[in-house]
């Protein structure tokens, strides 16, 4: 999102799936040691990722966990720290291209009301309710996400 907002000519549209709110996503300080522990705790990270996929657990979840544990150590808390200070609310109103902002009703990290607010912040923003999905719609509702991508490609091709 930040890259598209900084160079809208290169990005004629965006699809945001369960995005962090434009004003950032605060992570309480007591959570950082837990995030760090996931670097070496396969079961713990698997459990945490599983909680973001409330409706469908993919058969490749253990592979996702192994790949996640190969991240640079700073990223286990780095992403949360960056999102705590992140604010794109001012830039969003200048992005005139189509933005589809989608989330499921069962997302426990970013509420549907926060996602709807993100969609409203963009002049050409549209909110899409992905129904039963939680924070990992690309895994839980791949057909719906594929349909959104197709719609976005068609809109950009026609427009």
pLDDT over threshold 80, residue 159: no
Give the model's pLDDT for residue 97. Answer: 96
| Same domain, yes or no: 37 and 75 | yes
Q: Quick one: 75 and 107 in the same domain?
A: no
Whether residues 16 and 92 fall in one domain: yes
Q: Is the domain of 76 the same as that of 116?
A: no
Total domains present in the chain: 2
* Three-state secondary structure call for residue 89: helix
Per-residue pLDDT at 158: 81
What digits encode the pLDDT tens for the residues 67-95? 999 999 998 899 999 999 999 999 999 99
- The pLDDT-based confidence of 25 (bands split at 50, 70, 90) is very high
- pLDDT reading at 7 higher than 90: yes
**For residue 150, is pLDDT > 90?**
yes
Helix (H), strand (E) at residue 32: helix 32-37
In terms of domains, do 153 and 93 share one?
yes
Left if phi > 0, otherwise alpha if psi is -120 to 50, otherwise beta: which for 26? beta
Whole-number Å distance between alpha carbons of 95 and 11: 10
Containing structural domain, residue 146: 2-20+88-158
My answer on whether 73 and 96 are in the same domain is no
Return d(Cα 81, Cα 3) in angstroms, integer: 18
Are residues 16 and 94 both part of a single domain?
A: yes
Q: For residue range 93-139, what is the model confidence (pLDDT) as tens digits?
A: 999 999 999 999 999 899 999 999 999 999 999 999 999 999 999 99
138 in the same domain as 96: yes
Looking at the structure, do residues 142 and 104 belong to the same domain, yes or no? yes
Q: Are residues 78 and 127 in the same domain?
A: no
Q: What is the reported pTM?
A: 0.89
CATH number, domain with residue 95: 3.40.50.1820
Both 51 and 101 in a single domain?
Answer: no
């Amino acid at each position: 999102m930040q890259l598209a907002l900084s160079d809208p000519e290169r990005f004629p549209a965006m699809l945001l799936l369960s995005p962090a709110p434009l004003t950032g996503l605060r992570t309480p300080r007591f959570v950082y040691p837990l995030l760090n522990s996931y670097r070496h705790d396969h079961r713990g990270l698997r459990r945490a990722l599983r909680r973001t996929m409330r409706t469908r657990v993919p058969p490749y979840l253990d592979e996702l966990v192994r790949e996640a544990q190969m991240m640079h150590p700073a990223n286990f808390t780095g992403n949360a720290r960056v999102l705590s200070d992140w604010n794109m609310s001012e830039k969003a109103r200048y992005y005139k291209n189509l933005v589809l902002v989608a989330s499921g009703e069962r997302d426990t990290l970013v509420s549907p009301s926060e996602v709807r607010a993100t969609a409203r912040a963009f002049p050409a923003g549209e909110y899409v309710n992905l129904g039963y999905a939680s924070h990992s719609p690309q895994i839980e509702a791949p057909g719906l996400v594929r349909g959104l991508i197709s719609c976005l490609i068609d809109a950009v091709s026609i427009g």
